[in-house]
Structure 1
Amino acid sequence: MVQITVKMMLISGSVLLLLAFPAVISEVVDFSECSEFFFEGKSPVIPGVLENSLSQDNRYKTICQKYENSYRFATLFDTTNKVPVFSAYKFTAAAQISRLRDGWMIELQLELFNDGMGVPYANQAIDEDYFYNNQNVGRGHLFPSCHSPDKVFAQSTFTLTNTVPQKESFNSGSWNRMEIETKDLMGKYCVDEMDQNKVLAHVLTGAVPGNNKLNERVNIPSFMWMTFCCYNNSSQSWISQAYWAPNEDENKADNITIAERSLQELQEFLSTKWVKITQLFDNSCTK
C-alpha cells in the first residue's frame, strides 16, 4: 500500500510538472513522414548521426514538428546535449508578424516515463534553464519566426526543441541581420520550379556543439550555421548559399556582418568542427 502511494505521488508530480509547460504535439518519427521540408525529399546525410532519414544513434531523435494538426517543419534533436542539431523548413513567404510572446512549448514524446518514475525533462531544455543565467544567453530560434508565412507557423517555432542557448548580443546583432538578409534574398530570387509565381526555398539551420553548458545541463553551441537551396528565377538554375558564425558576445557598435559562403564551404567547415558531413542537400544544390 505504501509502495502504491509513493508511486502515485511520483506519477502525480511528473504530471504536474508536465502540465506546467505548454506541450507541442509533434511526432518523433522517421523524417520520411515529413519529407516535404527537405530538398528533393532527402534529409541531410551525417555519418553516424543521420542516414536515409533515420537516426543512427538513439541520442538523436527525428521530430516532425506538428502544430494545430499540421506538420510545420522538421528537427533533428540531440537528447544528450538537449539541443537541436538542425531544423529544416520551407520558406514560402514572410508575413509581417509582431514578435509573439505566448510561451515556449516542450516536446512530450522526448520524455519517456517508466510508470511515472522517470526524471521530467531529462532529454530537453526547459524555461527554467534560461532563468537568471550569467552566460548572456537566451533562446535562439533555428527556424526563425521572421521566416514564417503566417501567424500559425510563427507560433509553431516557439518550441524549445527549435532553440539553442544563443548569445543574446549575437542573436539580436549579426545573426538577426543575416535572417533579415536571407528573408529578402529568398523572397526576391527563389521560386517554385513548377510554378514560378510562388516563392520556395528549402532551408537548414543548425548549431555545432560547444564545450560549455547552460544550467549544467544544456549544451551551449560554439557555432551556428544556416544554408538554403532554391530555384533562381534569374539564372533559371538551382542555387545555394550558406552562412556560419561563432556563438559569441558582440559589441553593437562593431555592426558585425556574417559573410556569405558556399554550401561546399559550409560542409567543409562542419567536417572540421563537428563530424564529416557527406551532404546537406541533394547534389543539384552542391555548389
Structure 2
Amino acid sequence: MHLFVSAVLLVLCSPFIVAEVVESFSTCSSMFFKEEPPEIKGVLEHSTSQDNNRYKLICQKYEGEYRYATLYDISAKIPLFSAYKFTAVNKNPPHIPWMIEPQLNTLDGSMSDPGENQAADRDYWKQKKQEWERGHLFPNGHAPDEITAESTYTLTNTVPQNTKFNKGSWRSMEQSVRLFMETNCRDENNPDDILAYVLTGAVPGDKRLNNRVNIPSHMWTVFCCFNPKTLFWESKAHWAENKDEKNPIPIPDKTLGILEEFLGNKFKQSSLFSRDCNQFFDVKDYHPNPWFLSQFQRHFVHG
C-alpha cells in the first residue's frame, strides 16, 4: 500500500510531457539530417530499436508539435542521445516543473513505481552534496521559441551531470556552438534562415545516482549544417568527461570521424550522420568550389 500511495503522489507531483514512444524514428524523422537517425550496432539500426525491452524511441511532442527525438535507455534510466534542429534562439528561458514521460510507465492501477523505467525528481533530492544536477541534452538555450524551450524540461532529456562541469566548460561550449551555428549555418534552400542538425548524447558510466540512475562517464555533441561559403554540409563535434572541475577547461573542436571513433570504443559501432556531412566545419580556412558557388549564387539571384 505504501508503494501504491508513493506512486500516486509521484504521478500527481510530476507533470507529463505529451510525447510518443514509437516503434520507429520515421515518425519524427525530420529531426535528423537527411531524415536518417544514427546507427548504433545492437542498439539502434534502420530507425528501429534493437532491444525494445531496453531502448525506447521517443518523439518528444509538446503543444501539438514534435520538438525533438530521444533514444532512451530504461535500464540506465538516461537518454543515450537527443536529436533536434537548431533554427533560432529563444531569449526567454522558461520556469516550469520537470516533466516525465508517461508512456515509459505502466499506470494500470497495479502497485508499480512510476519511476521504475525512468529517472524521477527524487533521484536528485537525496544527495548529501549537490554534486549532480539535471543536465539537458537538448539545451533550452538552443530552442527557437519559448514553447520548444519548455519541452526540453523532461527528465527523458536529462542525465546526471556534474554540477561544476555543467555550469562551467560544458555551458561555455554550448554557448560557443550556439553562436557558431547562428553565424555560419544556413538553410541550403533559403540562405536567410538558420538550420543545423544537432545530436547530443551521453556515454553510460559505472556509477549510479541514488542507486538507480546511471551517471554518464562522458558527454558528447555534434552538429551538421550547410556552409554557404563552401556549399558543403559540414560538421563539428565536442565531448568531455563528466567530472568535477576546479576551473572551466575549454572543450576542443573535433571532427565527426574522431567522435565516431571514440564512441566506437564505447559501443560496437556508431555512425551519427550521413557520410555527406563528414567534412570538418572550419571557418578559418575554406576553399569554395567555384562551380557550385556560381550555381548557388545564380539560383538565389535569378531564381
TM-score, with length taken from structure 1: 0.92
Residue 16 of structure 1 deviates from its aligned partner by: 3.8
Separation in 1, partners of 2:5, 2:66 = 31
Residue 10 of structure 1 deviates from its aligned partner by: 7.3
Moved more, 275-284 or 258-267: 275-284
Amino acid at match of 1:27: E
Is 1:258–2:251 an aligned residue pair?
Answer: yes
Is 1:47–2:41 an aligned residue pair?
Answer: yes
Q: Deviation digits for residues 141-172 of structure 1, max 9, x if unmatched?
A: 00000001111111000000000000000000
Give 2:105's match in structure 1, choosing from 99, 103, 111. 111
Q: Deviation digits for residues 171-226 of structure 1, max 9, x if unmatched?
A: 00000011001101111111111111110000000000001100000000000000
Q: Counterpart of 2:301?
A: none
Give 1:231's match in structure 2, choosing from 226, 232, 248. 226
1:117-136 alignment, distance < 5 Å:
117-133=111-127, 134=129, 136=131
Separation in 2, partners of 1:96, 1:20 = 28
Q: Contact (CA 8 Å) 1:10, 1:116: kept in 2 or not?
A: no
Is 1:199–2:191 an aligned residue pair?
Answer: no
Is 1:242–2:237 an aligned residue pair?
Answer: yes
CA RMSD of superposed structures (Å) = 1.6
For residue 85 of structure 2, give the secondary structure of its aligned residue in structure 1. strand
Q: Contact (CA 8 Å) 1:27, 1:63: kept in 2 or not?
A: yes
Is 1:26–2:28 an aligned residue pair?
Answer: no
Q: Counterpart of 1:37?
A: 31
Residue 13 of structure 1 deviates from its aligned partner by: 5.8
Q: Counterpart of 2:297?
A: none
1:81-230 alignment, distance < 5 Å:
81-98=76-93, 100-113=94-107, 115-133=109-127, 134=129, 136-230=131-225
Q: Deviation digits for residues 233-277 of structure 1, max 9, x if unmatched?
A: 21111100000000000113xx310000000000000111x2033
Q: Deviation digits for residues 66-102 of structure 1, max 9, x if unmatched?
A: 111111000000000000000000000112223x331
Q: Contact (CA 8 Å) 2:90, 2:149: kept in 1 or not?
A: no
Moved more, 209-218 or 9-18: 9-18
Q: Counterpart of 2:274?
A: 282
Q: Deviation digits for residues 12-40 of structure 1, max 9, x if unmatched?
A: 76444312211111000121000000000
Amino acid at match of 2:45: E
Separation in 1, partners of 2:224, 2:165 = 24
For residue 149 of structure 1, give the secondary structure of its aligned residue in structure 2. coil
Runs of 4+ in 1 over 3 A off after TM superposition: 9-16
Amino acid at match of 1:50: L
Q: Contact (CA 8 Å) 1:106, 1:159: kept in 2 or not?
A: yes
Q: Counterpart of 1:271?
A: 264
Amino acid at match of 2:28: C
Uncovered stretches (5+) of structure 2, i.e. residues with no partner: 280-303
Amino acid at match of 2:104: L
